[in-house]
Amino acid sequence: MPQNRPTTMATIINSSTKHRSWEPFISSLILCSHMFILINPATSLDTITPTMPIDDGQTIISTNSNFELGFFSPINSPNRYLGIWYKKISPGTLVWVANRDRPIPNKNNATLKINSDGKLVVVAKQKQSFFWASKNSSKSVNTDQNLIAQLLDSGNFVLRFSNNDDPDEYLWQSFDYPTDTLLPGMKIGWDLKTGLNRALCSWRAIDDPSMGNYSYAVDIHGVPQLGIWKAGQFSYRAGSWNGLRFTGSPQLNENPVFEYTFVYNQNEAYYTTWARNNSVVTRFVLNNSGIARRLTWNDRNKEWVVYSSSPRDQCDSFGLCGAHGICSTDSSPMCRCLEGFVPKAVSDWNAMDWSNGCVRRSKMRCGEGEGFRLYPSVKLPDTRNSWVSLTMGMKECEEMCLRNCSCSGHASANARDGSGCLLWFGDLIDMRRLVDNGQDLYIKMPASELVRHSHRKKRLILIVAGVLVLSAMVLMCLVLYICKKRRQKKEEKKGETPRSGRTYAIEEDSKEELELPLFGFDVISNATDNFSEANKLGEGGFGPVFKGKLGEGKEIAVKRLSRNTAQKLSEFESEAELIAKLQHRNLVKLLGYCIERDERMLVYEFMSNKSLDLFIFDQARGLQLDWQKRVQIIVGIARGLLYLHQDSRLRIVHRDLKASNILLDDEMKPKISDFGLARCFGGDEIEANTTTVVGTYGYMSPEYTTDGLFSIKSDVFSFGVLVLEIITGKKNRGFYYQDCHLNLLGHVWRLWTGGSPLELIDESIVLNSSSPSEVLRCMHVGLLCVQHSAEDRPSMSSVVVMLSNETTNFPSPQHPGFFTERVMYETESSGNQEYCTAIDMTMTLLESR
Ligand SMILES: *[C@@H]1O[C@H](CO)[C@@H](O)[C@H](O)[C@H]1NC(C)=O
Ligand SMILES: *[C@@H]1O[C@H](CO)[C@@H](O)[C@H](O)[C@H]1NC(C)=O
Ligand SMILES: *[C@@H]1O[C@H](CO)[C@@H](O)[C@H](O)[C@H]1NC(C)=O
């Protein structure tokens, strides 16, 4: 009997009273890891046998001491449970609980044993009460054979014949009955032959491991999908598998921590992950508020670090925009109807209750020349009512959808090569725009909608060449005529209304103003395919930006200012003229503008590499920016800003400098864009007061956020934030590191003063021998720029000098503005997100680099 087994006592310490002074740190650990603290002499056995059960107070430990199994009490609870927890690292962090719904009321009263039916059971020692039993095996058990239960180093607790350790022959394994934690090697999903459905289910509360409200599971209605469920409905849908990832998990990418796949065939439908390198310890946990996070163990700091978290933002809440609505975090409101659709209940929709969704504007009758409208880069809709073929091609897929009247759209089933066919029937639910890793979705539209919108080109092809030439000529005449009219009008107006209230004078003669081309509305409308969703590049503060192609093939970016922009026509004209005057190789060039009907648009040169944020905050794309390129970008931005602040004849404060406003050309040269917020000053006016604070949280200087004061030094602050972001690859906003109180600035500051500033360099940056000093110099300049007091910050001219100077003999930085700040996150995040969560974190904070 068990007398000769080494005894281990699990000592439970109430850490919330004992470690009050570290509370934020400890509680963040507790939130993500049901933990208890134990003091434990080592034991060596990893098995139990029919003759060697274990009692409460004893444990078994896997061969390499990765995991330990035994009885425990959660913090603040007297109940006893059988569970598995980490042993070597993070001791006491639970990964599995057996009797989660039937706690053992008293300590030292239970035994885990293999009973005479060949099952693992937890029973009371005295009375014959029973708390847990392993499920029946599908394999027949001849109890004459020798059974053992073994705790493996993977964290799997298995029941098997002592002479057979083939995983396929296990009689029972804890990996088939997960609690709230997915360990490498576990599967989530279905064994379709036996009907076994492996799912994570959250704890009810931190001190209560019984089944909580949320589960993480694979749904096999229609095309299989993974997601988080609450009360029988998705709360978050990761989506269907497209060969590379789940369509709604753009963050699931090749990474240094784990590999993953989804298996779907007649026998099985499951998602599984495994560690790339066993020295990186990782687990995936669903917590009791329905947040699933992947954590990795940082052995240097002895803590779990969040690797990724889902749902990531509000657009991830299932079906937020209702049927045929599409969510986008950078548009406001977040929900839009698909093109050709209108809100079903307009007043609810306008009141931001989008749940009723949208309906078709014009009825679609079957077989009357329907076609498709493409939505690029989206999360594909709910596939519970869909059909999939992995072999069919795109053309066949389209035809099949056209033939079937209830088909509402199609997409490719394999994002790797665009093959396969996924068809939807009925309503399309839970779509969102994705910046990265989205897929093309084709939505079936009646012929009338297609003609109304985008397929003028097709019609034109059918018209004979003569008509084509003729209409082109007519169009040209018309445009010329309109242009002429406009100019006349403009000149007239200029004569009448003196531009009062303007703080700068434009001395140029009107000839120079005429150099900025005025585009006709039709020209721009044609160039952008009638402002189609497909051509939308993004949405800025003042309105959406579209990609367009002019007749001669020149690509342009059109900023369409919102109609309700409270900007007067004259102001708009002066803005356009002002921008046109600003010419520098690090500023985006304005090609022209358009004022027609109530539209105001600015036409810019198109930047093929889009914006900086897409690179620096993305691990994969970050690799394209080596350190030399990053320095080039930093210096380029500094030069552009210096030009705005000093060298141009007008003093311009940008006011919204941020990574997404830095565009990159073919050669990755930076160009500052979006002067929508720029105001110009008279020569000696350096500070102004504003009643409405505009700008982007995370980049705004303290004096601007709190007092509405802005000056060129506010831009310097934003520049400093940008520099630190470029170096670290982390966003100032939404940055998460070990301690909720620190943002990126605070963290860089701490490492800087603590003497280890190089620790935070973006891991995609490859350094050569000379670069560390350069990195330090840039970081130094960045920190000087984000100093709390505006007077302490250098001007851009000093910044440019410092950046190009080999000597690092410049002042030491004072501590940054918003060293610790919470208010920023609070204001920025909407509704149910908490400001210290790492909602948009897809980055790695691994120390095992
Ligand atoms: C679940 O995790 C999220 C993200 O870390 C956290 O904000 C939330 O408080 C957690 N919920 C509970 C009940 O611990
Ligand atoms: C695993 O990680 C360790 C420590 O980081 C490293 O030494 C080893 O080479 C890695 N093994 C593989 C197969 O990558
Ligand atoms: C359309 O597809 C649905 C779902 O696969 C199917 O039930 C229905 O029979 C199809 N209708 C036609 C006319 O093919």
Residues with CB under 6 A from ligand 3: 387, 404, 406, 425
- Which residues touch 699 (CB under 8 Å, ≥6 apart)? 656, 657, 658, 717, 718, 721, 722, 732
Highest averaged pLDDT of the listed ranges 493-497, 673-677, 784-788: 784-788
pLDDT at 566: 54
pLDDT at 468: 66
pLDDT at 711: 81
More confident residue, 343 or 463: 343
Ligand 2 pocket test, candidate residues 255, 259, 274, 279, most atoms within 8 A of CB: 279
Q: Does 232 share its domain with 377? A: no
pLDDT at 821: 38
- The helix (run of H) or strand (run of E) holding residue 797 is helix 796-804
Ligand 2 pocket test, candidate residues 255, 277, 282, most atoms within 8 A of CB: 277
pLDDT at 848: 29
Q: Does 223 share its domain with 150? A: no
Q: What is the pLDDT of residues 308-324, one digit of tens each?
A: 999 999 999 999 999 99
Quick one: angle between helices 712-728 and 744-753, nearest 10? 70
720: in domain: yes
pLDDT at 39: 45
Phi, psi of 3 (to 5 degrees): -55, -40
Mean pLDDT of the chain: 79
Lowest mean pLDDT among 277-281, 455-459, 468-472: 455-459
Mean pLDDT (whole number) for 480-487: 67
**If you measure from the C-alpha of residue 134 to the centroid of ligand 3, how many angstroms do you get, rounded to a whole number?**
44
How many Å apart are CA 779 and CA 724, to the nearest integer?
6
Report the side by side order of strands in the sheet with 303-310.
181-182, 282-286, 292-298, 303-310
Ligand of minimum distance to the alpha carbon of 848? 2
Mean pLDDT (whole number) for 433-450: 89
Q: Whose CA is nearest to atom 2 of ligand 3?
A: 404
> Which residue type, as a one-letter code, is found at position 779?
M
709: in domain: yes
Q: pLDDT-derived band of residue 253, with 50, 70 and 90 as boundaries?
A: confident
Minimal CA–CA distance to 825: which of 837, 813, 814?
Answer: 837
Phi, psi of 556 (to 5 degrees): -135, 160
Lowest mean pLDDT among 177-191, 194-208, 730-744: 730-744
Burial of 611 (0-12, 13-18, 19+ CB in 10 A): buried
Among residues 606, 631, 662, which one ends one of the domains? 606
- The helix (run of H) or strand (run of E) holding residue 705 is helix 702-707
- The helix (run of H) or strand (run of E) holding residue 783 is helix 771-785
Q: How far is CA 61 from CA 93, 281, 310, 318, in A?
A: 14, 17, 32, 41
The reply to whether ligand 1 has any atom less than 6 angstroms from the CB of 33 is: no
Q: Does 144 share its domain with 261? A: no
Lowest mean pLDDT among 243-247, 295-299, 612-616, 694-698: 694-698
With 70 as the cut, is the pLDDT of residue 428 above it?
yes
Lowest mean pLDDT among 61-70, 175-184, 456-465, 748-757: 456-465
More confident residue, 474 or 91: 91
- Residues counted in the chain: 849
**If you measure from the C-alpha of residue 222 to the centroid of ligand 3, how many angstroms do you get, rounded to a whole number?**
13
Lowest mean pLDDT among 269-273, 539-543, 704-708, 822-826: 822-826
Q: Does 98 share its domain with 24? A: no
More confident residue, 517 or 843: 517
pLDDT at 373: 92
Among residues 129, 158, 177, which one ends one of the domains? 177
pLDDT at 835: 29
Mean pLDDT (whole number) for 694-716: 76
Q: pLDDT-derived band of residue 770, with 50, 70 and 90 as boundaries?
A: low
Instruction: Read off the CATH number of the domain in which 519 is found.
Output: 3.30.200.20
- The helix (run of H) or strand (run of E) holding residue 523 is helix 521-527
Q: Whole domain around residue 376: which residue ranges?
A: 316-457
Q: Whose CA is nearest to atom 12 of ligand 3?
A: 404
pLDDT at 514: 44
Could you tell me if 429 and 322 are in contact, meaning their C-beta atoms sit under 8 angstroms apart?
Answer: yes
Q: Which pairs with CB-CB distance under 8 Å and at least 24 residues apart come from 164-169? A: 169/139
The reply to whether ligand 2 has any atom less than 6 angstroms from the CB of 253 is: no
pLDDT at 571: 65
The reply to whether ligand 1 has any atom less than 6 angstroms from the CB of 31 is: yes
With 50 as the cut, is the pLDDT of residue 559 above it?
yes
76: in domain: yes
pLDDT at 649: 64
Q: Does 166 share its domain with 214? A: no
Q: Whose CA is nearest to atom 7 of ligand 1?
A: 837
Ligand 1 pocket test, candidate residues 35, 214, 286, 291, most atoms within 8 A of CB: 291
With 80 as the cut, is the pLDDT of residue 179 above it?
yes
Ligand of minimum distance to the alpha carbon of 213? 1
pLDDT at 653: 81
The number of the ligand 1 atom at minimal distance from the alpha carbon of 836 is 7
**If you measure from the C-alpha of residue 404 to the centroid of ligand 3, how many angstroms do you get, rounded to a whole number?**
6
More confident residue, 542 or 566: 542
Highest averaged pLDDT of the listed ranges 370-379, 522-531, 578-587: 370-379
The b/e string for 699-738 (b: 16+ C-beta within 10 A; e otherwise) is bbbbbbbeeebbbbbbbbbbbbbbbbbbbbbbbbbbbbbb
pLDDT at 400: 94
Minimal CA–CA distance to 825: which of 732, 730, 715?
Answer: 732
Ligand of minimum distance to the alpha carbon of 399? 3
Q: Does 664 share its domain with 531? A: no
Q: Whose CA is nearest to atom 1 of ligand 2?
A: 277
Q: Does 732 share its domain with 788? A: yes
pLDDT at 699: 82
Q: Whose CA is nearest to atom 6 of ligand 2?
A: 279
Ligand of minimum distance to the alpha carbon of 389? 3
pLDDT at 788: 85
More confident residue, 820 or 759: 759
How many Å apart are CA 336 and CA 544, to the nearest integer?
13
The number of the ligand 1 atom at minimal distance from the alpha carbon of 31 is 14
Mean pLDDT (whole number) for 44-69: 91
Q: pLDDT-derived band of residue 489, with 50, 70 and 90 as boundaries?
A: low
Q: What is the pLDDT of residues 321-330, one digit of tens each?
A: 999 999 998 8
The number of the ligand 1 atom at minimal distance from the alpha carbon of 309 is 4
**If you measure from the C-alpha of residue 623 to the centroid of ligand 2, how many angstroms do you get, rounded to a whole number?**
21
The number of the ligand 1 atom at minimal distance from the alpha carbon of 288 is 13
484: in domain: no
464: in domain: no
More confident residue, 711 or 149: 149
The reply to whether ligand 2 has any atom less than 6 angstroms from the CB of 362 is: no
Token pair in block for residue 162: 């002592």
| 3-class state of residue 132 by DSSP | strand
474: in domain: no
How many Å apart are CA 363 and CA 225, to the nearest integer?
31
**If you measure from the C-alpha of residue 29 to the centroid of ligand 1, how many angstroms do you get, rounded to a whole number?**
10
Q: Does 564 share its domain with 624? A: no
How many Å apart are CA 590 and CA 593, to the nearest integer?
8
pLDDT at 331: 82
- The helix (run of H) or strand (run of E) holding residue 546 is strand 543-549
Quick one: angle between helices 771-785 and 627-642, nearest 10? 30
Minimal CA–CA distance to 369: which of 485, 301, 455?
Answer: 455
pLDDT at 264: 92
Q: Does 284 share its domain with 348? A: no
Ligand 1 pocket test, candidate residues 16, 30, 31, 294, most atoms within 8 A of CB: 31
Q: pLDDT-derived band of residue 337, with 50, 70 and 90 as boundaries?
A: very high
Q: Whose CA is nearest to atom 10 of ligand 2?
A: 277
Quick one: angle between helices 771-785 and 712-728, nearest 10? 150
pLDDT at 739: 40
With 70 as the cut, is the pLDDT of residue 12 above it?
no
Lowest mean pLDDT among 191-200, 637-646, 815-824: 815-824
- Domains contained in the chain, number: 6
Q: Does 558 share its domain with 428? A: no
As beta bridge partners, residue 422 has: 388, 411
Q: Whose CA is nearest to atom 14 of ligand 3?
A: 404
How many Å apart are CA 739 and CA 456, to the nearest integer?
56
The reply to whether ligand 1 has any atom less than 6 angstroms from the CB of 701 is: no
The number of the ligand 1 atom at minimal distance from the alpha carbon of 834 is 7
**If you measure from the C-alpha of residue 370 to the centroid of ligand 1, how many angstroms do you get, rounded to a whole number?**
47
Q: What is the pLDDT of residues 339-367, one digit of tens each?
A: 999 999 999 999 999 999 999 998 888 88
How many Å apart are CA 549 and CA 539, to the nearest integer?
19
As beta bridge partners, residue 262 has: 271
With 70 as the cut, is the pLDDT of residue 515 above it?
no
With 80 as the cut, is the pLDDT of residue 618 above it?
yes
Specify whether the backbone of 406 is left (phi greater than 0), alpha (psi in -120 to 50) or beta.
Answer: alpha
470: in domain: no
With 90 as the cut, is the pLDDT of residue 431 above it?
yes
With 80 as the cut, is the pLDDT of residue 688 above it?
no
The number of the ligand 3 atom at minimal distance from the alpha carbon of 406 is 1
436 is catalytic: no
**If you measure from the C-alpha of residue 449 to the centroid of ligand 1, how many angstroms do you get, rounded to a whole number?**
45
Instruction: Read off the CATH number of the domain in which 710 is found.
Output: 1.10.510.10
- First-to-last C-alpha distance (Å) of the chain: 47
The number of the ligand 3 atom at minimal distance from the alpha carbon of 405 is 13
The reply to whether ligand 2 has any atom less than 6 angstroms from the CB of 848 is: yes
The number of the ligand 3 atom at minimal distance from the alpha carbon of 387 is 5
Ligand 1 pocket test, candidate residues 203, 236, 837, most atoms within 8 A of CB: 837
The number of the ligand 2 atom at minimal distance from the alpha carbon of 280 is 2
707: in domain: yes
Q: Whose CA is nearest to atom 7 of ligand 2?
A: 279
Q: Does 23 share its domain with 46? A: no
The reply to whether ligand 2 has any atom less than 6 angstroms from the CB of 299 is: no
Phi, psi of 792 (to 5 degrees): -70, -25
Q: Does 795 share its domain with 830? A: yes
Among residues 606, 637, 653, which one ends one of the domains? 606
More confident residue, 7 or 125: 125
What whole-number percentage of the chain has pLDDT above 70? 76
The reply to whether ligand 2 has any atom less than 6 angstroms from the CB of 277 is: yes
Residue among 219, 656, 715, 762 flagged as catalytic: 656
Instruction: Read off the CATH number of the domain in which 116 is found.
Output: 2.90.10.10
How many Å apart are CA 111 and CA 618, to the nearest integer?
51
Could you tell me if 381 and 441 are in contact, meaning their C-beta atoms sit under 8 angstroms apart?
Answer: yes
How many Å apart are CA 18 and CA 104, to the nearest integer?
26
